[in-house]
Chains A and B, each alone.
Chain A
């Protein structure tokens, strides 16, 4: 069933990609670091280079954490919709197959937050 209603009912999708002025949403989470309450939401142009997200954007978001300076991107493990995934940092978000409202997360082995508390 899609909805129980008194007459035909179509929900208006408020977050369709056309509403974001050329951007698409990307959700990013850092595993084992609940210091940051939740994954974050970003509006990025699909042509943005994936490496620029790591180099230009994420430091402003995650840099406050003492583990951030220890991140070794060569060791990082990526997941897209929970499944293992390998991004190409030199390709764009679109070329990496990232669509509007995709969720990706990265795990940085050996780094488990403040005093190993996964914070």
Chain B
């Protein structure tokens, strides 16, 4: 007699069994007391079971896939390290982009892991909780793989030595830090809109194109490998981002204006954060992939434009900043790099001026703006540097209260005028760099009045090591602040030309090429 074997479960059934019934219906405490966070933002959810992850990944499958990826990743990192892969990059200038990545982005991954763990606890729907839990593990994994991939560079180059200490102190790192803390201190639905949707769905391609394609173009197999390993997770994170938006919008019409406001806010905050990626693409990659403007047009105007056409059926419109970003794509990389160039004595990485061929490349890529507004400045600085008068700004910049970036962005209708916006609130003035940041401030002033602005903190005397006496004779405030940052002046900063990194790279490359 034939055995009657039950049919194997289909993917959908397995997913349902692995992700449903895991939720918790309280008996002696009200649900709202146990899940206090998922209602206060005003989002109305009527049926949590309507949450469906398009990937339908279960924990069981998750462990299998991720373990396989880890094995491949670490095999390549080992090979890279053993074969002195760091000497295979195009030029040591490129390595400065990695210094930015490990100090600015890697701590954000760790914070994202914490935030997804938190949100996974706070949603009362089981599907959403499982999705957040897996993403929390992904973010922790990204954090670890980035550190492991870049630790080999730390043996050979300056500036990688103390990213965790720097994260809470160094002036430009307050930009990603404040972005993350703004997201992670919001309610759970706003958090998912900020990171899962606006950052990961709308903007993440703009991070991967320059960083991972740029790493590959410039011979950095270690970074390319962690990028590829992370990117397969990102696809799943993007579907989570889109799912959360659709879920909120389909649950109740009252959710629409709240979601739209979050999309406007977080798209703008994310775009400001990406200013640093713009300069990495146009100025920091010795071999360039494409200009920032070209990537903006491809990955934002075209791809994100299509996404918002899809969301239009819910009543969602393109982010309010859309028109301004079309203008800023011409300027942002030049304005950002010019700022780091002049504050190169206070940064934890090296800066430099583009060479003649690179200037010509920029002219070709930005035919309507570069020669008119930026080339004369860079050429003048090069002349001055050749005379031994390399320009370093010694006075601290005015910062935007919201994005915390120095106020270097120009007016939407005039690239020769700095954009100043201000708000009077409770008897104090608050300054912002744009209509987008002013709008964010004006919507929730109590959140942003408490910004930890590095310039203001330095002037309050809060950025010196314990025991330092700012009233002592001959006190050098910049030196004291750099000590507090753990940046070694003359080694970790200043111009790339003449730096230890430049000299060592040249010597090691020569050694690798011949017998002497």
Tell me the A residues contacting B by CB distance below 8 Å: 1-6, 9-16, 19-21, 23, 25, 27, 29, 31-32, 34-43, 60-61, 64, 81-82, 99-103, 105, 113-115, 117-119
Closest 8 CB pairs of A and B: A119-B377, A118-B416, A11-B446, A37-B339, A38-B406, A117-B376, A3-B446, A39-B398
Interface residues of B: mostly helix, strand, loop or mixed?
A: mixed
A37 touches B461 (CB 8 A): no
CB<8 Å pairs between A and B, sample of 30: A1-B444, A3-B444, A6-B187, A11-B448, A12-B449, A12-B450, A13-B428, A14-B449, A14-B451, A14-B452, A14-B457, A21-B460, A34-B335, A34-B373, A34-B410, A37-B343, A37-B393, A37-B397, A38-B406, A39-B397, A42-B395, A61-B393, A61-B395, A64-B391, A101-B428, A101-B429, A103-B422, A105-B420, A117-B373, A118-B416
A103 touches B397 (CB 8 A): no
Q: Mark B413-437, 1 if CB is under 8 A from A, else 0.
A: 0011110101000101111000000
Query: Counting CB contacts under 8 A, is B36 at the interface?
Result: yes
* Shortest distance from the beta carbon of B303 to any chain A beta carbon, whole Å: 31
Q: A35–B408 Cα gap in the complex (Å)?
A: 10
Considering the complex, give the chain B residue whose CB is closest to the CB of A43: B459
Q: A23–B458 Cα gap in the complex (Å)?
A: 13
Complex contacts, A5 vs chain B, CB 8 Å: 40
Q: A23–B459 Cα gap in the complex (Å)?
A: 9
> Provided the pairs A1-B444, A5-B40, A16-B428 are in contact, do residues A38 and B418 lie with their beta carbons within 8 angstroms?
yes
Q: Which of A3, A15, A27 has the most CB of B within 10 A?
A: A15
A11 touches B376 (CB 8 A): no
Complex contacts, B429 vs chain A, CB 8 Å: 81, 99-103
Q: A58–B187 Cα gap in the complex (Å)?
A: 45
- A11 partner, pick from B40, B406, B445, beta carbons under 8 A: B445
A15 touches B453 (CB 8 A): yes
- A103 partner, pick from B389, B431, B460, beta carbons under 8 A: B431
Tell me the B residues contacting A by CB distance below 8 Å: 36-37, 40-42, 187, 335, 338-339, 342-343, 372-377, 380, 389, 391, 393-399, 406-408, 410, 415-418, 420, 422, 426, 428-431, 443-453, 455-457, 459-461
B417 touches A31 (CB 8 A): yes
> Provided the pairs A27-B431, A114-B377, A118-B373 are in contact, do residues A41 and B455 lie with their beta carbons within 8 angstroms?
yes
Considering the complex, give the chain B residue whose CB is closest to the CB of A19: B460
Q: A64–B397 Cα gap in the complex (Å)?
A: 16
Considering the complex, give the chain B residue whose CB is closest to the CB of A102: B429
A2 touches B396 (CB 8 A): no
B422 touches A81 (CB 8 A): yes
Complex contacts, A115 vs chain B, CB 8 Å: 376, 380
Q: A101–B426 Cα gap in the complex (Å)?
A: 13
Q: A41–B420 Cα gap in the complex (Å)?
A: 14
B420 touches A35 (CB 8 A): no
Q: A5–B457 Cα gap in the complex (Å)?
A: 26
B446 touches A14 (CB 8 A): no
Considering the complex, give the chain A residue whose CB is closest to the CB of B379: A114
Q: A105–B391 Cα gap in the complex (Å)?
A: 22
Q: A35–B416 Cα gap in the complex (Å)?
A: 11
> Provided the pairs A4-B41, A16-B428, A21-B460 are in contact, do residues A38 and B397 lie with their beta carbons within 8 angstroms?
yes
- A2 partner, pick from B393, B428, B430, B444, beta carbons under 8 A: B444
Q: A27–B400 Cα gap in the complex (Å)?
A: 12
B420 touches A103 (CB 8 A): yes
> Provided the pairs A15-B453, A119-B380 are in contact, do residues A40 and B447 lie with their beta carbons within 8 angstroms?
no
Q: A68–B40 Cα gap in the complex (Å)?
A: 55
Complex contacts, A64 vs chain B, CB 8 Å: 389, 391
Complex contacts, B339 vs chain A, CB 8 Å: 37-38
* Shortest distance from the beta carbon of A42 to any chain B beta carbon, whole Å: 7
Q: A100–B398 Cα gap in the complex (Å)?
A: 13
- A38 partner, pick from B36, B408, B461, beta carbons under 8 A: B408
* Shortest distance from the beta carbon of B175 to any chain A beta carbon, whole Å: 14
B380 touches A82 (CB 8 A): no
